[in-house]
DNA sequence: CAATGTTTAATTGCACACAACTAAATTTTT
DNA sequence: AAAAATTTAGTTGTGTGCAATTAAACATTG
């Protein structure tokens, strides 16, 4: 009886903002990006550019395609973003001689130098979140599971 | 000894993409928006426009400021978005006679009619997530807590 | 090896996000 | 009430995101 009434009216609870999962995800994502802002601004970085650096600091050289696969971004987003990073002399962009279709993004000295300044950012963000390491890991795990469902 | 070494090297684990909370949040948020895409496209809606409707379907009339407070968006985002929704005859935009600074957004019949078509979207998304109601609620609660920390 | 199909970036166009600024209306203070 | 401060949208400019298209390079197939 009650189960049937869950969707019996157009104005059912499912459409209330407070009952959505999508909204807090959307909002937390943007607010967390904003929390990074002051630290990234000091390095003249945007948030997606910071994510590209997280990859390049682990592996100095990646193709646009590899970056796109890891960050789930396509060339329409990455090409202009990487061109801006190239203008700032942070990365190099050159065709792979073995496969001219690919563009290899390489970390330049100025880009490598940013790592030393960025390495304290995660801890400072973590402080803002007021989360225990347990909560942090649990939430990350849940989100990663959800991510694998959605990709 | 070990504790000190956690940050002793620039190439520490904190800067690895896999250890970040920010990336899965950012990625899940975008992928979830993409999951809504086919349903929203059928209604000629974008995702943020859908969020505005979630509010207006609960309360037929809201000022730009009230919408901004609930969705955590400013007028730079909302003004053009709401103008597009006005062009489609979904909402009205008019100055509040009692306070000419405010612009009241009102739900028009065409906008109200969309609710009937949208009311099945949440369930269909929920199916895609493969989450139990318990997991769903727990994640939503955690995200809402995080959101309150970040605002 | 020529034709076809696939892969990879780049380009184009649209819609957010958001910082910074402007301008009008309202409120508060003097 | 006049001046100053605040509130509220709108505007401008930059940087994503992403769908759709294009073009070049490579791979596959007959």
**pLDDT single digits (tens) A13-67:** 888 888 889 999 999 999 999 999 999 999 999 999 999 999 999 999 999 999 9
Find out whether A146 and B129 touch, Cβ atoms under 8 Å.
yes
Joined together, the tokens standing for residue B131 give 């989450």
Cα nearest neighbour of B17 on chain A? A54
Q: Which residues of A111-141 are buried (b: 16+ CB within 10 A; e: fewer)?
A: beebbeebbebbeebeeebebeeeeeeebbe
pLDDT exceeds 90 at position B20: no
Residues of A in contact with B30 (CB under 8 A): 72
Cα nearest neighbour of A35 on chain B? B150
Residues of A in contact with B139 (CB under 8 A): 21, 139, 142, 146
Q: Is B8 left (phi over 0), alpha (psi -120 to 50) or beta?
A: alpha
Q: Which residues contact A149 (CB under 8 A, 6 or more apart)?
A: B128, B129, B130
Q: Do A54 and B23 touch (CB under 8 A)?
A: yes
Q: Which residues contact B120 (CB under 8 A, 6 or more apart)?
A: A7
Task: Show the DSSP H helices in A1-150 as ranges.
Answer: 2-5, 22-42, 47-58, 64-71, 75-87, 109-118, 121-129, 133-150
User: Tell me: the pLDDT tens digits for A64-89?
Assistant: 999 999 999 999 999 999 999 999 99
Residues of A in contact with B133 (CB under 8 A): none
8-state DSSP, A132: -
Joined together, the tokens standing for residue A102 give 């690919």
Q: Do B7 and A120 touch (CB under 8 A)?
A: yes
Band the pLDDT of B10: cuts 50, 70, 90. very low
For chain B, how far is it from start to end, CA to CA, in angstroms?
A: 37
Q: Is the CB of B46 under 7 A from strand D?
A: no
Q: Calculate the angstrom distance between C1' of D24 and CA of A68.
A: 20
pLDDT at A12: 60
Find out whether B107 and B61 touch, Cβ atoms under 8 Å.
yes
Q: Which residues contact B133 (CB under 8 A, 6 or more apart)?
A: none
Residues of A in contact with B120 (CB under 8 A): 7
pLDDT exceeds 70 at position B7: no
pLDDT at A9: 52
pLDDT at A7: 41
pLDDT exceeds 50 at position B114: yes
Q: Calculate the angstrom distance between C1' of C14 and CA of A114.
A: 34
pLDDT at B18: 85
pLDDT at A63: 98
pLDDT at B1: 43
- Alpha carbons A94 and A87: distance in angstroms, whole number: 13
Joined together, the tokens standing for residue B123 give 């369930």
Chain D bases near protein CB atoms (7 A cut-off): 7-13, 15-20, 24-27
Q: Is the CB of A103 under 7 A from strand C?
A: yes
> What percentage of chain B has pLDDT greater than the value 90?
84
């Amino acid at each position: 009886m009650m189960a049937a009434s869950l969707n019996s009216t157009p104005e059912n609870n499912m459409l209330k903002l407070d009952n959505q999962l999508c909204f807090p995800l959307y909002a937390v994502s943007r607010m967390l990006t904003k929390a990074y802002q002051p630290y990234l601004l000091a390095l003249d970085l945007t948030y997606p550019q910071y994510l590209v650096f997280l990859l390049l600091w682990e592996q100095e050289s990646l193709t646009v395609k590899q970056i796109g696969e890891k960050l789930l971004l396509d060339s329409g987003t990455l090409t202009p973003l990487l061109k801006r990073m190239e203008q700032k002399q942070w990365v190099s962009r050159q065709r792979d001689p073995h496969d001219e279709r690919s563009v290899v993004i390489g970390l330049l000295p100025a880009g490598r130098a940013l790592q030393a300044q960025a390495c304290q950012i995660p801890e400072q963000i973590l402080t803002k979140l007021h989360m225990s390491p347990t909560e942090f890991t649990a939430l990350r795990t849940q989100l990663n599971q959800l991510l694998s469902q959605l990709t």
